[in-house]
């Protein structure tokens, strides 16, 4: 009996959100109230970009529509986008959404972890930061960094990932290709990978 009840509860359709009518129409005033509620909870828990915040709110509506078979109306969609944009402007004005500062912090956090600039650029784009802002920041960082900055970060990355090249073999050996690919995936160029290989080779030679 209890097993059957738990199956019934598990298979029961989730309750229709209060901003959606039985006919699948979105009630904008109620949606605005719902957005206010979920925004405070979401932004109180996470530091996100404006793009990620927009995506979160839109996903809430899209999921409810899909689950309850609501029709998508173009005019209604534009009004919902307007609600989302007003919230973005509100929280930007309050300083809760601050893409410039967050982008800076995220970039430095990636670099401290031993990630290359190209890898950091990819990760920042996935977090829905403005693509031009990300490119400009990466280009500025690249122009200001020391010549061996990428090499130093690659050494940090190699240590974290426990990458130890087989130094008595070629860089292009099967074993070393696996190590090289890990550094490449972390955003480092082949030239930097070769520098790490040569460095580890020198370290090995110095110990013998």
Pick 111 or 65 by higher pLDDT: 111
Q: Same domain, yes or no, for 201 and 136?
A: no
The mean pLDDT value of the chain amounts to 83
Instruction: Look at the chain and report how many structural domains it folds into.
Output: 3
What is the rounded distance in angstroms from the CA atom of residue 106 to the CA atom of residue 124?
A: 8
pTM: 0.69
Last residue of a domain, one of 145, 163, 180: 145
Q: What is the pLDDT of residue 8?
A: 40
Question: Are residues 75 and 15 located together in one domain of the fold?
Answer: yes
DSSP assigned state of 20: B
Provide mean pLDDT across the span 162-189: 84
Q: Which tops the pLDDT comparison, 12 or 27?
A: 27
Q: What is the pLDDT of residue 12?
A: 56
Residues 140 and 191 in one domain: no
Closest CA to 117 of 146, 138, 134: 138
Domain that holds residue 125: 98-145
* Rounded-to-integer distance, Cα 128 and Cα 103, Å: 10
| Residues 53-88 pLDDT 10s | 999 999 988 887 776 566 666 567 888 899 999 999
């Amino acid at each position: 009996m209890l097993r059957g009840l738990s199956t019934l509860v598990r298979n029961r359709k989730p309750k229709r959100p209060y901003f959606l009518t039985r006919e699948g129409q979105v009630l904008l005033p109620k949606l605005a109230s719902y957005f206010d509620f979920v925004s405070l909870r979401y932004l109180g828990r996470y530091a996100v970009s404006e793009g990620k915040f927009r995506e979160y709110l839109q996903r809430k509506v899209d999921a409810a529509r899909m689950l309850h078979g609501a029709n998508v109306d173009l005019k209604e969609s534009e009004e919902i986008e307007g609600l989302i944009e007003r919230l973005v402007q509100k929280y930007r004005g309050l300083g809760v959404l601050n893409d410039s500062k967050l982008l800076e912090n995220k970039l430095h956090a990636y670099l401290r972890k031993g990630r290359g600039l190209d890898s950091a650029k990819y990760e920042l784009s996935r977090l829905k930061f403005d693509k031009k802002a990300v490119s400009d920041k990466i280009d500025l960082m690249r122009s200001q960094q020391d010549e061996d900055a990428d090499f130093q970060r690659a050494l940090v990355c190699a240590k974290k990932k426990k990458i130890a090249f087989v130094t008595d073999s070629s860089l292009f050996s099967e074993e070393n290709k696996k190590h090289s690919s890990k550094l490449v995936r972390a955003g480092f160029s082949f030239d930097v990978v070769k520098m790490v290989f040569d460095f580890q080779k020198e370290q090995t030679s110095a110990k013998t």
